[in-house]
Every structure is written in C-alpha cells, then in structure tokens.
Structure 1
Amino acid sequence: MEFPKTEVGKRIRYLRKSQGLTSEELAKLAGISQSMISQIERGQVSPSLETLWKLSHSLQVPVFSFFEMEESNIVKISRAKETKVVKRVRPNVSYELLSPSSGKQMSFFKMVVEPGEDLNAPLMYHVGEECGIMLKGSLRIEVEGEIHIINEGDSVYFDSSLPHRFMNLGEENAVSIWAMTHSF
C-alpha cells in the first residue's frame, strides 16, 4: 500500500486556507521551508511523521485530520473493519481512529502502546483536552513532569496543552480508548 500523499497534501492545503494562512506563514509556524509546504500540498513528496506532527501543531488540528476526507453525513458510523490505523511520532505507538476528527471538536481513538521504555520519546502538547480509559495493561503517563500510572479499568483526564507522553513499562501491549477535544 502506498502513502496517500496526494490526498494528504490536499487536506493540508484545505486546512491551511480555511485558517487564512499563506504557505509562507504555515512554513514559518511549522519551522519548515515554504518549498516543502508547496511540495507536500501538491502531492509531490511524502512528509515524514515529524513534519506531519509540526504541521498538525501549527494548524492546531490532530494528525488524524490529514487522513480524512470531508463528509456531509450528520451521523458517522465507524465500522470495525474500516478503521484507520495511524502511527504518529513514536514507532511503538499506534492510533486507531474510531471517529471522524476533521472539522470536528472531538476525536475518539484506540491507542496501543507496545512494551518498552523510551525516555527519549518527545513530549507532546496540543490545544484541547483529553481523557482515556485503560482496557488492557498499564501506562506510565507523564504530564508536565508528574508521573501517573493507570492500570486496566483506570481512567485519566488532562489538559493537552501540558507537555505529556506515554510509556508502557509492562510486557504486553497497553490498549486504551481516548477522547480528545480540539480548537479550530
């Protein structure tokens, strides 16, 4: 399967223009070149995960929104066989989108964190709030320097603008369900 660079580029262009930004302004916000923005938007290059993360932070949208097409349906059903798995920033974390997030105020997803401690994992932060519940395993959650452990059945809530990261110190995949709000 090939990376959908044309669709991702169109989506980034749409989000940039809907916020009234020029490609030069977005490039400056994201810390990448204007020519890179142009190449991405025209589907000429496949952006790295780091570049997608910078763009999502600069546009204040979740990375998931780059992989969705606009839909006019008021009710959206996400079928189990049709969910989209997106890997983001860290190679041992996968996100399965359970709801549309494009242009929405909230995202709903399943997060699977493979075992292993990675103290070099980047801290994440973005506009909004998030909460999650552990279905299987446990997670070490660092939020603004404070460490919290959540186990199966536990839930957590925090302000997403605070620097945070997740680690699975167990020996099996940690599986959780998350809801995240956005500001558009």
Structure 2
Amino acid sequence: MEFPKEEVGKRIRYLRRLQGLTSEELARLAGVSQSMISQIERGQVSPSLETLWKLSHSLKVPVFSFFETEVSNAVTITRAGETNSIKRVRPNVSYQLLSPSTGKQMSFFKMIVAPGEDLDSPLMYHAGEECGLMLVGSLSVEVEGEIHTIYEGDSIYFDSTLPHRFMNVSDEDAVAVWAMTHSF
C-alpha cells in the first residue's frame, strides 16, 4: 500500500492541529514557508525527505507517523503481506512499516534500497538512534563523513543526530531490517 500525498498532508494537518499549532507556527518551527505547509496539507505537493524530517522534529513525532493511522493497541501484530510500503520519501528507497510508530518510542521497518543509490542523496539527521541488520546484499552507510559497508548478516548502530545516508552501489537490491528510536 502506498500513501498518496493527499493522505500524508491530511495526517500532517491532523498532527499540527492536535498540538494547537497554526500553519504559520509550524512553518516557522520547521524553517519552511507557510505556503509550503499549506500546499503539503492540501496534497498539492509531496514534501522532500528533508522537509519531512523537519516537520517530524517540529511536531515531535516519528517521521513514519505521517504515513500511519492511529493505533492504540498495547500489542500489535503486523502479519506478512499487511505491511504498509512508503516509496515516495526517497526515489530509490522503499520502507515497509513493520510496527506502528504513532505514540511509540521506536519504529521498526524493512528498508529496500535499489541499485544506484549514491552520494547524490541528501544527508539526514534527526533525534534518536538507529540500528539495522543487513538481510540481502550490501549497503554503504555514511555517518558523519565516514562510510561503513555492511554485508548480509552484519549489523550497524549509530546516533541519528549525526548526518547520515544510505547508498547501494551494487547491482542488486539491498534489504535490511531497521529500528529507529524517537527522542525529542
């Protein structure tokens, strides 16, 4: 299931209003224009990954919460084939949410990086910590200017406040299971 930009915009509007923020206040907090917030919330534009991270930090929610509906169960099981896929955050990367992150302190997801993901992708940084386990292929993970390559069976951990990005310079999909904490 892919999330249309209209649904992402509605979710951002819901979270903004839930916190009692005006679109002008959110724009100021996130360092974007008020018209950008308005266009995102009305589903007229798809926010970039950088903008999504800024909005998640400003709203003090995990970035994946923009792609979820509310889940209030104490125990949630995500069955095979029932995962939500997000493909529009970055062009060569798809994320399959394996657990709810709304109201949670951690996100758990499967990350698939298509061949060709390279140094042109933007650096990310956000509150929290990340760790991943490489299932298939290999992945180069740049953290604060240093590139670390992980292969099948390898794992990695790092502080998400450090600038980072993922690159797949091989000719096959790189598949990893990832967990990310959220601290604001």
TM-score of Structure 1 vs Structure 2, range by shorter chain:
0.7 to 0.9
2:116 match = 116
Report the RMSD for the aligned CA atoms in angstroms.
2.1
Alpha-carbon spacing, 1:181–1:3, altered in 2? closer, same or farther (3 Å): same
Where does the alignment leave 5 or more consecutive residues of structure 2 unmatched? none
Fraction of identical pairs, as percent? 75
1:13 match = 13
Where does the alignment leave 5 or more consecutive residues of structure 1 unmatched? none
Amino acid at match of 2:136: K
Please list, as runs of the form range in 1=range in 2, the aligned pairs for 1:146-165 lying within 5 A after superposition.
146-165=146-165
Deviation at 1:11, TM superposition (A): 2.1
1:130 match = 130
Q: Secondary structure at the match of 1:141?
A: strand
Instruction: Check conservation: 2:16, 2:22, Cα contact below 8 A.
Output: yes
In the alignment of these two chains, the number of paired residues is: 181
Task: Give, in whole Å, the separation in 2 of the partners of 1:72 and 1:57.
Answer: 22
Q: Secondary structure at the match of 1:122?
A: coil
Deviation at 1:2, TM superposition (A): 7.7
CA deviations 1:3-45 (Å, max 9, x no partner) are: 251x43332133224444332121112233223323443xx32
1:3 match = 4
Q: Secondary structure at the match of 2:125?
A: coil
Task: Give, in whole Å, the separation in 1 of the partners of 2:38 and 2:116.
Answer: 37
Instruction: Check conservation: 2:111, 2:178, Cα contact below 8 A.
Output: yes
Q: Secondary structure at the match of 2:148?
A: strand
1:86 match = 86
Q: Secondary structure at the match of 1:134?
A: strand
Deviation at 1:169, TM superposition (A): 1.7
Alpha-carbon spacing, 1:40–1:166, altered in 2? closer, same or farther (3 Å): closer
Is 1:73 matched up with 2:73? yes
Alpha-carbon spacing, 1:122–1:2, altered in 2? closer, same or farther (3 Å): closer
TM-score between the two structures when normalised by the length of structure 1:
0.87
Q: Secondary structure at the match of 1:132?
A: strand
Task: Give, in whole Å, the separation in 1 of the partners of 2:147 and 2:106.
Answer: 25
Instruction: Check conservation: 1:60, 1:126, Cα contact below 8 A.
Output: no
Task: Give, in whole Å, the separation in 2 of the partners of 1:147 and 1:2.
Answer: 31
Deviation at 1:89, TM superposition (A): 4.1
Instruction: Check conservation: 2:118, 2:169, Cα contact below 8 A.
Output: no
